Structure 1
């Protein structure tokens, strides 16, 4: 690219120099010829004035013209015979000068020639010839052409220097953009394009940066979805597996009830996947509005047997205030909190709904050991003895998407509080 810019600039400069220089060179050559003829005419007029008195008295001029080499001046009769001066013995263009009665240009291959008549009452009585070698004009023209050629070379060198500088200025940011795009294609989404100060190139860089941010966000969402889905689906899938295994081990089991229970579980799994996909894609939540009391009643029926199987008791206090929000979102948040109680809690798991002054507070607490001081339970962590933190982080994101908040209200025993806007 740099070479192409330099060559294009030099070609443009060369064309401009040619379009301007060639006509100027021709004009310079014509100027020197015209100027030399004017000088010859002045020399001939001066000599004619000097010898006119002798010519009118019919005497041969005895004074030579005061001219500088290589200008030659001579005086001739109307018939073309030389009377005095330096020049050919006969004047070939005498008849033309006598006939026109004015200045005659009579150039030859080697000389520039001007013939000026000397008249007496309208009659040409003598002719003055002034001539100079063409080499004199050629020398002046050549020197000027050489100077013009030198200026053209200087102009081309200047254009070359400017073109190289501009080529570097234009090519460097484009090369950086190419490297940035290559790194982006290799999976480095933290790369950012520099700014070149050229609006068009900077616009491309900004678009590339935006693409990197979007791709990074997209991959982060995909990773989050994979982790969230794995966490949220683990318990329902385990429950479904237990139901099916229990049905296989019990020959007298009511298969219809087992199938209906399995269908209900798969329905909840489908809703879970749908909710997680909406969150991962950052799409507006589907406002399948439901009353908090109704949702908690359904959760009590679903989770009471699960907690009972782990030696826990689920108690849902009467709802004293209502708020309406996305039913799937509330189910996901409460599922996370109840699953957390199953894993880390003890005793009775209590769900309490209260008016928190402008908001509806849903408290989920148990009688376990609680949370150690200084632990950030809402941050994602590497898998370990105390879990990954995926579920609580997901629950907080879901709550914030609904305009609410999820916080740890008490450490020991642990109480999580979900704050929701009151129904208007």
Structure 2
């Protein structure tokens, strides 16, 4: 494992079975974190699930799931994306129960040091759990290196990242040599991430073909402002890795242009989606919605947080499908179209893990009824028209409503 850090910490776990012991188990991990000073990874069998989608049936202990999720949030941990398998354990019966009990959790500083980590599920004939293979070096790919030996990278000047800039010592006798492109892949990926702009990352392909390959493997894509939606579509078509973050800003986008790139994003997304469509000040975001057209919102199966500020573009919510990992949803300046009711779309039946729901300046809602066991926080503001607004979550803790 290669990174420009002196040390990082690994905690291997085997979580207890009894519920009463799971609370103490998570408290023990909290105490370990408080004693560490540096990047941290926790890996193993937690005997807990993080999302309802981590189990293939509805027999879920939501209290324990909530405890585990709170632990992950409090410790600011990220769940490493697992390639090759959805579940990691099975009771191997005729009608099996399958769960994702095994996972790898890392701190943000660990991820920054290993931005191209690759977690692969393997097969096993001797256990009802699947083993993992974790690669941290971008030059190592599990699909084409079975049985191969890993040779160390050549000696290179040690880089330092400060404020998003790379400082590397160039010797007097090799001035003008492209030593930057000779750095390890994980360092180059950190450089691309520091740019904060997917279009800028794309322009690095003029340096060398290697940069062109790397930009397709970025775990995050950000388009701070893209006047040409075709750039977003092209970048997503060429992208190969799962996306933990997609952030897009456009100005007065047409619904057809959004419909071209958003389904491509849905296939790659395994984290947060933020889309902001700015409307010129001379336009009233709450007028002319009928004339602006609409697009179909794709099924975002693996999204965890979604924030849409559409500048009053029309959107049709998918009539079917479960948003199994979605915990936060924010809708602003949206004109709802289509037969699917918003309340039904965000209820427990389709959003079993939704905890925060925010709506502001939304058109096309005549009746909002939400039935949710997971919702904790809800904000409703300027919904029109709104003949009736009702919510009946069994465990909602906080809500605020502005005039409809």
- Tell me whether the two structures share a fold, i.e. TM-score over 0.5: no
Structure 1 or 2, whichever has the larger Rg, is 1
Considering Cα pairs closer than 8 Å and 6+ residues apart, tell me whether 1 or 2 has the greater RCO.
1
User: Scaled by the length of structure 2, what TM-score is found?
Assistant: 0.19
